[in-house]
Amino acid sequence: MKNLGILLSGRGSNFVAIADSIAAGRIPDARIAVVISNRADAPGLEVARARGIQAVAIPSKGRPREEHDRAIAAALLDHQVDLVCLAGYMRLLSAWFVQQFPARILNIHPSLLPSFPGLEAQQQAFAYGVKVTGCTVHLVDEELDHGAIIVQKTVPVLDSDDEHTLGARILEQEHIAYTEAIKMVLEGNFEIAGRRVVRGQRSEVRLQK
Ligand code: GAR
């Protein structure tokens, strides 16, 4: 059984999608050991508690980044987390934190990286006028929205779209993509060659037991 640790800052729909996928058996042999937020008022924390999942607020406001990250890492270790999933965690992680969990942190981003990194990626894509956008699940490295890509899903931009309708269709794909990516990483059925994550090979990167 692998323990997931979820970091979030907001409503937590990706967290809920992951929890639903575990409950439905789409992510086998896994459980969410803890949900942690840097914002005490994140709705995702309440959703977790309502589902009987441990939920912890570790407020980041006014705290130096690495000191805050050390508190988060301690909570993850307390819960024996094998894989850290960023699910709308809107705070940059320190290099120190990333180094604590090598190839064991995933992030979901609402664009086809490397296009539109950073904040409000859906709005950036809409304003740019691209005809296709989507979402990306990637390993987290020390650069923003940059690590090796695990899964991407495309979403067409329709003439009738506005930012909200487009964002909603991207979010639907995020929920599907995150489940696929977590299952694949937990199974270890891939190889990392440079930036390329290739399926069907036994991974060199093993999660700790
Ligand atoms: C999602 O769209 C996620 O991709 C995005 O925040 C939203 C969180 O929604 N993350 C980023 O933009 C990270 N750069 P949720 O709280 O409902 O999962």
The residue count of the chain comes to 209
**Residue-level pLDDT at 202:** 61
Specify whether 175 is catalytic.
Answer: no
Query: In the chain, which residues have pLDDT < 70?
Result: 201-209
Alpha helices in the chain (DSSP H): 13-23, 43-50, 65-78, 95-100, 121-128, 163-187
How confident is the model over 185-204, as pLDDT tens digits?
Answer: 999 988 999 999 998 766 54
What is d(CA 28, CA 26) in angstroms, rounded to the nearest whole number? 6
Whose alpha carbon is nearest atom 6 of ligand 1?
88
* Cβ neighbours of residue 123 closer than 8 Å, sequence gap 6 or more: 163, 167
Q: Is the CB of 10 under 6 A from ligand 1?
A: yes
**Residue-level pLDDT at 83:** 98
Domain boundaries, the chain: 2-202
Secondary structure class of 30 (helix, strand, coil):
strand
Q: Is the CB of 111 under 6 A from ligand 1?
A: no
How confident is the model over 117-128, as pLDDT tens digits?
Answer: 999 999 999 999
Contact 139, 207 (CB under 8 A): no
Place of tokens 């700790």: 208
**Residue-level pLDDT at 199:** 86
Whose alpha carbon is nearest atom 7 of ligand 1?
88
**Residue-level pLDDT at 209:** 43
Gap from CA of 103 to ligand 1 centroid (Å): 20
Q: Is the CB of 171 under 6 A from ligand 1?
A: yes
Gap from CA of 65 to ligand 1 centroid (Å): 20
DSSP 51: T
Q: Is the CB of 8 under 6 A from ligand 1?
A: yes
Pocket test for ligand 1, best of 107, 109, 169, 173 (most atoms within 8 A of CB): 109
Q: What is the pTM of this model?
A: 0.94
Q: Is the CB of 108 under 6 A from ligand 1?
A: yes
Cis peptide before 110 (omega within 30 of 0): no
CB atoms under 10 Å from CB of 191, counted, come to 15
What is d(CA 110, CA 96) in angstroms, rounded to the nearest whole number? 25
Q: What is the CATH number of domain 2-202?
A: 3.40.50.170
What is d(CA 154, CA 134) in angstroms, rounded to the nearest whole number? 4
